[in-house]
Amino acid sequence: MSDQATLHLEYLYGPQWQNVIAIVERAAQLTAEERERLNAAAAGGVETQLKNLQNAMGNGGGLSGLSGLLSGLGQQTAPQAPQIAAQVAKEFGRLRNTQVATSVVSQALSPGAGAGDVAGILQSLGSIGAVSAVAQAVTAAVLGDLVGRGDFTQSVYDELMRSWQESIQA
């Protein structure tokens, strides 16, 4: 690859561009089974977050339902891996890199989405969980060289990569 092409890829995706490209290329080749595993992993993550919210509300003086939810809105919760990654990307000037990478990987997962046909739109809607899981992985790849800086620890990186790695290696 020419120096100019390498420079362009590094401009787009940051210094970890090779890892980003590997995820984007692999995402474009997902099997139906892998998509299902990614969707299931993303659904499991949402379910866990909802349970954590319910537990937090249930321990907040017996409040439940809407009143419990509203009372918990002002409380600070520990930032989750995606929020930490977004903060680190902003702090270290990688926000544009993560945005470009997630946009490209989204297109790789749903190539017919921009064509305007109903089948492409339905396929895209059926892959929302997969897009979310792969977007987290590509975000981790963009920020991989920043592990250990601030709150972006190895465990945050691993959490962002977990669904991708488990779904592809299964």
What digits encode the pLDDT tens for the residues 75-130? 445 679 999 999 999 999 999 999 999 999 988 887 654 555 544 544 544 568 88
Domain assignment present for residue 63? The answer is no
Domain assignment present for residue 52? The answer is no
Domain assignment present for residue 98? The answer is yes
125 or 14, higher pLDDT: 14
Bridge partners for 152 per DSSP: 149
Q: Determine contact, residues 127/105, Cβ cutoff 8 Å.
A: no
Please tell me which of 30-39, 68-77, 101-110, 145-154 the model is most confident about, judged by mean pLDDT: 145-154
Domain assignment present for residue 66? The answer is no
Residues 6+ apart with CB under 8 A from 65: none
157 or 44, higher pLDDT: 157
Domain assignment present for residue 53? The answer is no
Average pLDDT, the chain: 80
Q: How far apart are CA 96 and CA 92, in angstroms?
A: 11
Show the domain range for 104: 3-42+79-169
Domain assignment present for residue 11? The answer is yes
Domain assignment present for residue 51? The answer is no
pTM of the model: 0.74
Domain assignment present for residue 86? The answer is yes
For residue 121, the model assigns a pLDDT of 44
Structure confidence by residue, pLDDT tens digits, 41-60: 888 765 555 455 455 555 54
SS3 of 58-110: the string is HCCCCCCHHHHHHHHCCCCCCCCHHHHHHHHHHHCCCHHHHHHHHHHHHHHHC
Structural domain count, the chain? 1
